Amino acid sequence: MALDDAFSKLLDADLYARQAQTFPVLTDEQVALAKPYGTVESLSKGTVLFERGDRNGDFFIVLEGNIEIFAYGPDGLYVFVVHDKHQFSGDVNLLNDRRLLVGGRMGEDGQVLRMNPAQFHRFMSAEPEISEMIVQAFILRRMGLVSLKQGSITLIGCRQCAQSLRIERFLRRNGYPIDIIDYATSERDQPFIKELHIEEDKLPVVVIHQKRQLIYNPSNHELAESLGMIEVLEPGHVYDVAVVGGGPAGLSAAVYAASEGLDVVLLEYDAPGGQAGSSSRIENYLGFPTGISGQELADRAQVQAHKFGAKIALPFLIEKINCDRTPFELINEDETQILAKTVVVASGARYRKLPFEHHFDNAGIYYAATAMENSLCKNEEIIVVGGGNSAGQAAIYLSAQAYHVHMLVRGDGLAASMSEYLIDRINASPKITLYTQTEITALDGGYHLENITWHNRKTGETETRPIRHVFLMIGASPNTGWLKDCVDLDERGFVRTGAQLVDNTEWQLERPPMMLETSMPGIFVAGDVRSGSIKRVASAVGEGAMAISHVHQYLATLQPNHDPVLAVL
Ligand SMILES: Cc1cc2nc3c(=O)[nH]c(=O)nc-3n(C[C@H](O)[C@H](O)[C@H](O)COP(=O)(O)OP(=O)(O)OC[C@H]3O[C@@H](n4cnc5c(N)ncnc54)[C@H](O)[C@@H]3O)c2cc1C
């Protein structure tokens, strides 16, 4: 793609207004402040400074000449941005050790200031004003890569099929640029697709352009591994704290732990954000009067955690914890072992499903209402099931695009379970119809959902309609299976903490458990997974921070062999 085209696309994407923040020019004073942290190098045109796929790339400030930033697409290598004098290279992957999405080379003979990762981290900690500008630019650059599909992979599949949607959702929620081609349409006639000799019966396929590599229907883990999205964990390393779950509670714990000097790893099975990441707009989180999408909040929190030095390992499903040994041992799905002196359980909750078996998950049945699902519903009749706030938000959000939203609730109305402001908006909308005492009883279709049958208990009527999209917002159960036999759970499977443990005979210490401490000293809980929690983003974030203050207190009692001193704190 020509450079001019790339810039005009930037303008199209309405990013031009933030061009100065995306590609800032450092002042002479700022460059002088940066110089002691790196080394000045004179380089000739064409010298490659970093390549797509590198881990731990260096950071560069242009002193003379320029740096061309390039990516790989269907037609090979293309340059899409040029950094001139006193501009700098990099995006959010310089804050972690995930593989870079783009390459950089000298566009002319020139001079650069180079910082290796250790020098860059020292510079970022020591110069907060410049660091703020760099982090802001990195976030905007990643947004640009995603929206302009630069440095992207291509997913060839079918737009409404379960496996294609799974891959798309995983990459989008992890902020990875992706271009999508629907093989069932004329999009498949592009010359580069013909050259790939695709095996149609194995679709979907992910194409990594740099190596012309095809990966057919990869699992999320396989894909993350091939794309270098998984951060490197040193075997045998003992962390101060391992946080399980990357929702608001876990991200908050990681940010506070890292910013307070703890050696922290966050282990997340899917993508940062948890349930909040699937919310199209959170309107009641303090400081965001016009609302913020859960995904944006999570992306920002992830960058913040990385900036302070937290490790974020994903996709990483913790299947088991051994808590009869210290340090605690967490085991993931492929038997990798993570050792930590303390653990913060922030594994939240999982959406409830329909009470009967079906094969329509991601092929007509959805558990989130984000921009991605919204785009599938344009001018379609859809169903939202549930009477809570998340169902209300989804119905209102989706009604903007959908032809009509049928809202099904089991109870007599919404008043007992939904905030007043949402009820008012639902009542006022001509595009939403509420059906009380109504439940889905059957689903029907081939590969994709085609028909829905619902039953109204009040009238006794059963109705079947040709509806292809159903959003289930019917609550959640705690993700505590991996904690079995380690900590005390309540009758619904949520983790008991603090004062709830007064009668617990297994509590081993003389001191009482701290407020967010479980029945196992050194294991703490934050967010929705805690028994009696509030189920809000703000409370999850607050508890994440509080759990880390408990971790500090607990670590102060540890002897060198990690055994807790049996003393009152
Ligand atoms: C659609 C929707 C809209 C919402 N809107 C609002 C709103 O407007 N305002 C508001 O305040 N709240 C809202 N909420 C509620 C809010 O999102 C939750 O209270 C909050 O996300 C809880 O955060 P958490 O970190 O405790 O858990 P979660 O968000 O559930 O995150 C838990 C994380 O742990 C991971 N995990 C689970 N088990 C494991 C394991 N074994 N190994 C590794 N990782 C694991 C999961 O993948 C997940 O990412 C909404 C929820 C939904 C679903």
pLDDT per residue as tens digits for the range 207-259 = 999 989 999 999 999 999 999 999 999 999 999 999 999 999 999 999 999 99
* Token pair belonging to 536: 């809000």
Residue 177 half-sphere exposure toward CB, CA atoms < 13 A:
22
pTM: 0.84
Q: Which pLDDT does position 560 carry in this prediction?
A: 66
Q: Which pLDDT does position 363 carry in this prediction?
A: 84
Q: Which pLDDT does position 484 carry in this prediction?
A: 85
CA of 34 to the centre of ligand 1 (A): 40
The 3-state secondary structure of 308-334 reads: CCCEEECCCCEEEEECCCCCEEEEECC
Per DSSP, the three-state class of 74 is coil
C-beta 279 within 6 A of ligand 1: yes
Mutate-to-test residue for ligand 1 from 279, 290, 319, 480, highest number of ligand atoms within 8 A of CB:
279
Mutate-to-test residue for ligand 1 from 537, 539, 546, highest number of ligand atoms within 8 A of CB:
537
C-beta 535 within 6 A of ligand 1: yes
Q: Which pLDDT does position 514 carry in this prediction?
A: 97
Whose CA is closest to atom 37 on ligand 1?
A: 347
C-beta 396 within 6 A of ligand 1: no
Whose CA is closest to atom 11 on ligand 1?
A: 536
Core vs surface per residue 466-504: b (16+ CB within 10 A) or e: ebbbbbbbbebebbbebbeebbbbeeeebbbbbebbeee
Q: Which pLDDT does position 563 carry in this prediction?
A: 58
Look at residue 73 and tell me whether its pLDDT is greater than 70.
yes
Which whole number is the average pLDDT over 128-146?
A: 95
What pairs with residue 244 in β-bridges?
267, 345
Q: Say how far residue 45 (Cα) sits from the centre of its chain.
A: 38
- Find where tokens 């085991």 sit: 331
Q: Which pLDDT does position 132 carry in this prediction?
A: 95
Whose CA is closest to atom 8 on ligand 1?
A: 282
Q: Which pLDDT does position 3 carry in this prediction?
A: 44
* Token pair belonging to 121: 């981290």
How many CB atoms sit inside 10 A of residue 56's CB? Answer: 17
Whose CA is closest to atom 45 on ligand 1?
A: 245
Whose CA is closest to atom 48 on ligand 1?
A: 274
C-beta 318 within 6 A of ligand 1: yes
The Cα 150–Cα 177 span in angstroms is 7
C-beta 393 within 6 A of ligand 1: yes
Least confident of 275-289, 293-307, 442-456: 275-289
Per DSSP, the three-state class of 465 is strand
In tens, the pLDDT along 484-515 reads: 889 999 998 999 999 999 877 778 788 999 99
List all residues 6 or more positions away from 321 whose beta carbon is below 8 Å from its beta carbon.
328, 329, 330, 331, 343, 482, 483, 486, 523
C-beta 110 within 6 A of ligand 1: no
C-beta 390 within 6 A of ligand 1: yes
CA of 529 to the centre of ligand 1 (A): 9
Q: Which pLDDT does position 11 carry in this prediction?
A: 47
Q: Which pLDDT does position 7 carry in this prediction?
A: 44
CA of 35 to the centre of ligand 1 (A): 43
Which whole number is the average pLDDT over 310-332?
A: 95
CA of 345 to the centre of ligand 1 (A): 13
In tens, the pLDDT along 3-42 reads: 444 444 544 555 545 889 999 999 999 999 999 999 999 9
C-beta 274 within 6 A of ligand 1: yes
Whose CA is closest to atom 17 on ligand 1?
A: 276
Which whole number is the average pLDDT over 319-346?
A: 95
Whose CA is closest to atom 9 on ligand 1?
A: 282
List all residues 6 or more positions away from 187 whose beta carbon is below 8 Å from its beta carbon.
181
Nearest-atom index, ligand 1, CA of 271: 49
